[in-house]
Amino acid sequence: MVAASGSAGLTRRQAVDQVRRRIAPLDARLLLQHCLGISHVEFLTRPDEPLAAADSEAFMALVMRRERGEPLAYLTGEREFFSRSFKVTPDVLIPRPDTELLVLQALERLKPLAWPRVADLGTGSGAIAVSIACEWPEAKVTAVDVSPAALAVARENAERLGARVEFRHSDWFAGLAGEQFELIVSNPPYVAAQDPHLSQNGLPFEPNGALTDGGDGLSCLRAIIEGAPAHLVPGGWLLLEHGYDQAEKVRELLGAGGFKEVTSWRDLAGIERVSGGRLPD
């Protein structure tokens, strides 16, 4: 193992090359750019710039954390979602490309509406709510989360990106009493407690309560489907992200909950990742 000061005196390119057997070369470059506060273009145009000792030490410290499996997004403090950079911390899930499908389907449902009201349940980093608000400024977006720490991150993302979103501290519908919406969206905890994926791919570093319900992975989805009709206008839509093997069950729950036009949509990997239905008029 290279010591924390092992890259002292090296150039930017040499520092990245030195750790390529320990972490992915792309991760190494992104971590170095983060430490130096430079863009990819600057790295490419000035690869032979010598590293200062302090920058070398900071870089190697991040390399060691990445080597232990800590997600890159937590190390750099940001993740791109829907072509925007979102702040992320260990208090929130890291936004995934799969979730962009939920935003796309939400925007599709908003097209015929003039001033739609949208609720995002379990907003986390705010990626869904903020993306919808940025793409559809006419929408009145309300986002809730049970975690005050997550709400702080979401509020900061909304402010940074100029999104008009109202944030509330709430456990699902508890803080929305008497309110109705044209669209409700959610990416709730849906991983079953015994799913081996929870111990893989950096998930142990993410907030467990935002990943799993501690049971079969369906309890939060059930609660949202059961509670949504009281908070949707006639003809309103509910859209839910769910697990790779849960689409059929979610469609059953939506049908049993009185929803019509129940459908599932596939992500870029061909997996049914989002399901939804419309409340009867």
Work out the angle at residue 151's Cα, subtended by the Cα atoms of residues 217 and 210, and round it to the nearest 5 degrees.
15
| Residue 6 pLDDT greater than 80, yes or no | no
For the chain, percent of residues with pLDDT exceeding 70? 97
Average pLDDT over residues 235-252: 97
Model pLDDT, residue 2: 40
DSSP state string for 13-33: HHHHHHTTTTS-HHHHHHHHH
CA end-to-end span of the chain, whole Å?
64
- pLDDT, mean of residues 221-249: 97
Residue type, 25: P
Residues annotated in a binding site for substrate = 187-190
Nearest to 260 by CA among 242, 236, 241: 236
CB 232 within 8 A of CB 278: no
Is residue 219 very low, low, confident or very high in pLDDT (cuts 50, 70, 90)? Answer: very high
What pLDDT band is residue 152 in, cutting at 50, 70 and 90?
A: very high
**pTM for the predicted model, two decimal places:** 0.92
Q: With a cut of 90, say whether residue 196 has pLDDT above it.
A: no
Q: pLDDT grade, residue 188 (50/70/90)? A: very high
Measured distance CA(239)–CA(3) in Å, rounded: 49
pLDDT value, residue 46 = 93
Q: Quote the pLDDT of residue 3.
A: 42
Q: Which residues are annotated as a binding site?
A: 122-126, 145, 172, 187-190
| 3-class DSSP assignment, residue 275 | strand
Q: Each residue of 99-119: b (16+ CB within 10 Å) or e? A: bbbbbebbbebbeeeeebbbb
Whether the pLDDT of residue 28 is over 50: the answer is yes
- In this prediction, residue 4 carries a pLDDT of 43
Q: Is the pLDDT of residue 215 over 60?
A: yes
Among the listed residues 258, 252, 257, 256, the one whose alpha carbon sits nearest the alpha carbon of residue 275: 252
DSSP letters for 236-250: EEEEEE--TT-HHHH
β-strand partners of 260: 278
What is the per-residue pLDDT across 38-77, written as a single tens digit (0 to 9) for each?
Answer: 999 999 999 999 999 999 999 999 999 999 999 999 999 9
Per domain, the residue ranges of the chain are: 12-68, 90-278
Query: Quick one: pLDDT at residue 5?
Result: 43
Q: How far apart are CA 143 and CA 193, in angstroms?
A: 26
pLDDT of residue 7: 52
User: Average pLDDT for residues 234-239, to the nearest whole number?
Assistant: 98
Q: Is the pLDDT of residue 144 over 80?
A: yes
Would you say 130 and 163 are in contact if contact means Cβ atoms under 8 Å apart?
A: yes
- Sign, CA dihedral 218-220-223-227, equals negative
**What pLDDT is attached to residue 234?**
97
**Residues annotated within a binding site for S-adenosyl-L-methionine:** 122-126, 145, 172, 187
CA distance 176 to 241: 21
Of the chain, the percentage scoring pLDDT greater than 90 comes to: 91
Q: Mean pLDDT score of the chain, rounded to an integer?
A: 94
Determine whether domain 90-278 maps to CATH 3.30.70.360. no
Using alpha carbons, list the distances in angstroms from residue 137 to 20, 81, 103, 130. 43, 18, 14, 10
Split at pLDDT 50, 70, 90, the class of 1 is: very low
Beta strands 272-278 and 232-241 are: antiparallel
Mean pLDDT value of segment 154-161: 98
Arithmetic mean of pLDDT, 215-237: 97
What's the pLDDT at 91? 97
